Structure 1
Amino acid sequence: MAGILTCLWKYRNYIVIVLTPLLLLPLPLASPTSEAKCGYVIILMALYWCTECIPLAVTALLPVILFPMMGIMESNEVSPSLQQSHILINHFLLEWDDICVFSSVIQVCIQYLKDSNMLFIGGLLVAIAVEHWNLHRRIALQVLLIVGVKPSLLMIGFMGTTAFLSMWISNTASTAMMLPIANAVLQQLCDTEANAEEREFNMAAAKNGLDNQAFEMGDAKMSKELQSKENTINLDADKDDSNGIISSLEAQQRRLKTEQKYTKLTKGMSLSVCYAASIGGTATLTGTTPNVIMKGQIDELFPDNGGVINFASWFGFSFPNMVLMLALSWLWLQFMFLGFNLKSTFGCGTKKEGDREAFQVIKDEYKKLGRMSFAEGCVLTIFTLLVVLWFTREPGFIPGWATLLFNKDKTYVTDGTVAILMSALFFCIPSKLPRCCGRSEDGASSEAPAALLNWDVVHEKMPWNILLLLGGGFALAHGSEKSGLSIWLGESLIPLQSIPPFAISILLCLLVAMFTECSSNTATTTLFLPILASMATAIEIHPLYVMFPCTISASLAFMLPVATPPNAIAFSYGNLKVLDMAKAGFILNILGVITINIAINTWGVAMFNLNEFPSWANVTKTP
């Protein structure tokens, strides 16, 4: 029996791949409607995403196959130009049914490369350039040189730096960069403190030894008189040996106590870095994939929303929420791993030697970077310009530069347009100052310097699978709308009108935060957002009131090592146990949900006018 179970477990992915569509097949057969067929595709993809029996990106491509085959994209969606080209296509021996299927494939495929994908690509290209030229490492070390190496300040420094970097580069990259620095600093602090205590103990023992020697020399006569008695010498020898053993044991215990303290501190520091990476990614529209998914879903499901979500509006809501979550996370981790003895954790009245040596470790790492190169300066300049253009394109409270310059519809220029424009400069600007008369070492004329980025670097570091995941999510949302599944879901959720909106938001955030522990945050957001949009339309509450908190909650995967790549990296670096991460992460999940709902019910209401049901949200009610 055990052998059979072992064999089944080894082939579990193949079993899930084959059995899942067969077990779900009664759904479209018993109810051969477009809604049931679309539900079949969504449930199948959800199970494939949760079990990861095939790669997530391959699962995201299933709508390209299943939507046309199951007739979810109907023939009346064929564009007039395609209908007028019927004769031309017949010339290639295609029948009208084939044309309709071909059109359905086109309708699905265009969902895989929309403006949100362009925004994501542009943001990733900037992140790749920052990482390629080590600009993120320079920023991180400079911040740590400012905050110092006291335990609490060090944790604040690492969390703040990691969160800031995660706003612009991937959470995984920022975690992988910061954790080795944190471990090196803490190891230096531990060794220095242990050696200092050992030296103090040896000096004290030597001093006591000299005092005993003087005492024995002063009382030599008494010692000679006592030598005639039995066992006196043996007793004295035993006493000396026991003192040496006790001294040695005491020194070992002190060192062990110091190492245990820093082992606990290392756990807390590792968790603080990976948690700060996940929290920091929520602050900007391009910080993490679920944010871009929400932007794309809002534009797909509510095309007349007027650009309610852009870089500036997202940052205005999420950045204060990120700072609040970061502060609460620091307080909780401080309590768990450092305690609330502020005098010791902030370094008041403590020895300076260990701090100086640990500080020197950071300083040495910074010196290895050398002076800022021309390439780093160019990357920093382009990055700064990109952020400024994002903020000022359409800030909301005043007309943005896109409206003023083009004097047309503000949707002509989007955040994706700006991202692609600025990221394209990385392939046009040289990485060194051009020297027309420059010579190489062998005297030959030097070649032109390479650009800041080349396609080989981009191809190696670009997560192409995420782009397919984004497209798969948009295809699901489009299929739900066209098949009528979103309307059916909305009508089914109408009884939720009796529940206060703030309670709905809290319950949904808890559900998403729990679900994302076992599934990727990208898949979680992709599955939940269309359902949330349908629910909001049915019970007539602002879609952002539930979609915004749940999107951020999808990044609150703090409890399990497998929940996010930053968690897995921290688990390998910090000598952590699953229980350590579960205890710390459970409270942070609760704090995160509370913080998000405080934000959405305070400044979120003021920013997006969430107390009123917008007219553009009625679009899913009309078939």
Structure 2
Amino acid sequence: MSLLAAARGLPGTTLQRIGLTLAVLVPVAVLIADLPGLEPPAQRMLAVFSVAVILWVTEAIPLVATAVLVIFLQVLLISDEALVGFGDTAFEAPTAASIYATLAHPVIILFLGGFLLADGAAKYRLDRNLTAVMLRPFRGSLRLTVFGLMIITAVLSAFMSNTATTATMLAVLIPVLAVSPSPTARAGLALSIPVAATVGGLLTPVSSPPNAIAVGTLADQGIQITFVDWLLATGPLVLVLLAVAWAVLAVRYLDRGVAVDIDVHVDLDTRPRAVLFYVVAAVTVLLWLTEAAHGIPAATVAFLPVTVLLATSVMTGEDLRRLQWPVLWLVAGGIALGSGMAATGLDEWMIGLVDWAVMPGLAVTLGLLALALLLGTLISNSATANLLIPLAPGLAVTVGTDSVILAVGLAVVCGLGMALPVSTPPNAIAYATGELRTKDMAVIGLVVGAVGLVLVAFVMPTWWSLMGLT
């Protein structure tokens, strides 16, 4: 019986079953093939890379499972504890401990602190109360209210997962959707939240996995991007994209003169534990924003709330168990993949397959960004970032582009893939309200994505150079 025939008996879609089969056959073929110019360590890493590509694209197994598999295969194939050694080659194998250490990479610690703060904000109703307070100036017309909702959602998404932010904001909107007489207005309200959450997810290193993957990849190249660096780099872009998204929504869905009534009642939790959480959260954000002044790395700052909140029982072990560990490990898998490719020289070999010298640098950049937007729309943007961003440093050198510009640009564009209900969790949550059609998401997703791509390719590099990011 062939492997493909055997795979038909496995659960999942046809694409997933084909993915499982290819994930076995392709790496075996890579390992036994005679590939010119490819040294044994890099050939083994290419086998790992092929597994990652196939499984992340087809989602034959959960994305996080693929990330963990990438780390395990690197230990088995390219580490100092590899099942088969490298003989007399000059390759200096990374230690197994260093590969495992990607699960505790500083970027992972940064995300851990961010996730715990986000969960604490929900536990002590800080997110709902902040939303109520910030919405007060935007009551009145429907267009003004949607503008306020989008600004607030984007701000919350900068420090919380965009999935949690979307769930919180839609909970605020559900009563409004239930009584709104206009289906068009309901669609505009429901659509504003996932779009703003996704755009807001570009704003800080802790707001989305692609951002963290870019920061981690550049850190492994000795390039440090601080919390404020990223905030300043993406802030203007986020503002422009929010304005574009709001304009599209206003024209298509939001009639002038229509009013909407949203509950802005504040019910602040004043128990001592809640107050301590508010103080710790405020101090953490303040330290992130003033990193240049005190010099404490953002990851170290992120470990402050983890330590203090657990030590004081403001957050408990049960809260810790509920964190988004699959996302953390998915980011770790991407960082490990990039490190393995750099350590074995696979990135240089792959880049050398194409004669980039005959291609204009701008054409290369546009092609990569377009690919990132397409893949980010069709598959997980985290998986897309894991596949493309590790290539950025080597490719940037080859085509004469700054590695920071390319890595940050890819992270941003990966995060803008939101034209389908399945593109992002926020889209899926909003689609589940029953107020949206796929066409609604496709139109605004394509418009915002295209505008973002053009800005990242032609405008933002100038801003990043002026602010000294490159």
Relative to the length of structure 1, the TM-score reads 0.68
After superposition, where does 1:43-58 map in structure 2 within 5 Å? 43-58=50-65
Q: Which residue of 2 aligns with 1:139?
A: 130
Letter in 2 for 1:362: D
From 276, 281, 288, the counterpart of 1:378: 276
From 69, 79, 90, the counterpart of 1:73: 79
Give a deviation string over 1:310-364, Cα, whole Å, max 9, x none. 10111111112111111111011111213xxxxx62x3xx7xxxx5xx53x514x
Q: Which residue of 1 aligns with 2:3?
A: none
Whether 1:283 and 2:203 are equivalent positions in the alignment is: yes
- Secondary structure of the corresponding residue to residue 25 of structure 1: helix
Q: Shift of the alpha carbon at 1:53?
A: 1.3
Letter in 2 for 1:152: R
- Say if 1:321 and 1:599, in contact at 8 Å, map to a contact too: no
Equivalent pairs, count = 454
After superposition, where does 1:393-404 map in structure 2 within 5 Å? 393-394=291-292, 400-402=293-295
- Say if 2:26 and 2:50, in contact at 8 Å, map to a contact too: no
After superposition, where does 1:479-558 map in structure 2 within 5 Å? 479-496=340-357, 498-501=359-362, 503-558=363-418
From 405, 421, 445, the counterpart of 1:561: 421
From 232, 245, 252, the counterpart of 1:336: 252
- Secondary structure of the corresponding residue to residue 573 of structure 1: coil
Q: Which residue of 1 aligns with 2:453?
A: 593
Whether 1:34 and 2:41 are equivalent positions in the alignment is: yes
After superposition, where does 1:344-363 map in structure 2 within 5 Å? 345=256, 347=257, 355=259, 359=261, 362-363=263-264
After superposition, where does 1:420-435 map in structure 2 within 5 Å? 420-429=303-312
Mapped partners of 2:277, 2:97: distance in 1: 38
Q: Shift of the alpha carbon at 1:160?
A: 0.8
Distance 1:599 1:386, change over 3 A: farther
Give a deviation string over 1:4-58, Cα, whole Å, max 9, x none. 9997885644553234321442222112733232122112111111211112121
From 320, 336, 339, the counterpart of 1:458: 320
Distance 1:574 1:588, change over 3 A: farther
From 37, 62, 67, the counterpart of 1:60: 67
- Secondary structure of the corresponding residue to residue 263 of structure 2: helix
Distance 1:45 1:609, change over 3 A: closer
Moved more, 129-138 or 382-391: 382-391
Distance 1:372 1:48, change over 3 A: same
Give a deviation string over 1:454-503, Cα, whole Å, max 9, x none. 1112212x1111222122112211211121111213333452564143x4
From 435, 440, 447, the counterpart of 1:580: 440
Give a deviation string over 1:513-569, Cα, whole Å, max 9, x none. 110112111111111011122110222321012111110111112211011110001
Mapped partners of 2:458, 2:51: distance in 1: 35
Mapped partners of 2:219, 2:355: distance in 1: 24
Letter in 2 for 1:563: S
Whether 1:21 and 2:24 are equivalent positions in the alignment is: yes
5+ long unaligned stretches in structure 1 = 77-95, 191-258, 339-343, 395-399, 403-412, 430-450, 611-623
Mapped partners of 1:380, 1:598: distance in 2: 41
- Secondary structure of the corresponding residue to residue 417 of structure 2: coil
Mapped partners of 2:390, 2:125: distance in 1: 39
- Say if 1:266 and 1:574, in contact at 8 Å, map to a contact too: no
Percentage identity across paired residues of the two chains? 26
- Say if 1:427 and 1:452, in contact at 8 Å, map to a contact too: yes
Letter in 2 for 1:284: T
- Say if 2:42 and 2:346, in contact at 8 Å, map to a contact too: yes
- Say if 1:297 and 1:529, in contact at 8 Å, map to a contact too: yes
Which has the larger Rg? 1
Q: Which residue of 2 aligns with 1:397?
A: none
Mapped partners of 2:201, 2:230: distance in 1: 12
Q: Shift of the alpha carbon at 1:583?
A: 2.1
Letter in 1 for 2:424: T
Mapped partners of 2:310, 2:74: distance in 1: 38
- The Cα RMSD (Å) is 2.8
Mapped partners of 1:427, 1:37: distance in 2: 42
Q: Shift of the alpha carbon at 1:283?
A: 0.7
Mapped partners of 1:22, 1:125: distance in 2: 41
Q: Shift of the alpha carbon at 1:102?
A: 11
Mapped partners of 1:504, 1:299: distance in 2: 23
- Secondary structure of the corresponding residue to residue 167 of structure 1: helix
Distance 1:101 1:491, change over 3 A: closer
Whether 1:265 and 2:127 are equivalent positions in the alignment is: no
